[in-house]
Amino acid sequence: MKNTTAFYVQSILAFATSLGAMVIGIVYLPVGPWVRGFLAIGLLFVVTSAFTLAKTIRDKQESDVISPADQARLAKMLATPRQHNTQ
């Protein structure tokens, strides 16, 4: 099942809007620089760990789709040296 271009655009806009809103909120929060820095680092950690989690889930789903026989064939193909035709 493929995602549409509209879905990608919506996902990017939602991510950019939420991240921008959080950054603006942190910048204008009436607290000291230490609290602001802590919140900014926390936001950065949440964003990077969300990307890592999404990639991990995607990789797990992809590995479940490929059968062990297909994985063995792929490993054999990758391990076999390629013959170059020279003329």
Question: For residues 36-56, b (16+ Cβ closer than 10 Å) or e, as one string?
Answer: eeebeeeeeeeeeeeeeeeee
Q: Is the pLDDT score of 52 beyond 60?
A: yes
Q: Collect all residues with Cβ–Cβ distance below 8 Å to 66 and sequence separation of at least 6.
A: 74
- Is the Cβ–Cβ distance between 22 and 29 less than 8 Å? no
Q: Measured on CA atoms in the order 12, 14, 17, 19, is the torsion positive or negative?
A: negative
Q: Enumerate the domain spans of the chain.
A: 5-79
Average pLDDT over residues 34-55: 96
Residue % of the chain over a pLDDT of 70: 92
pLDDT, position 84 = 61
pLDDT digits (tens, 9 = 90+) for 6-43: 999 999 999 999 999 999 999 999 999 999 999 999 99
pTM above 0.85, yes or no: no
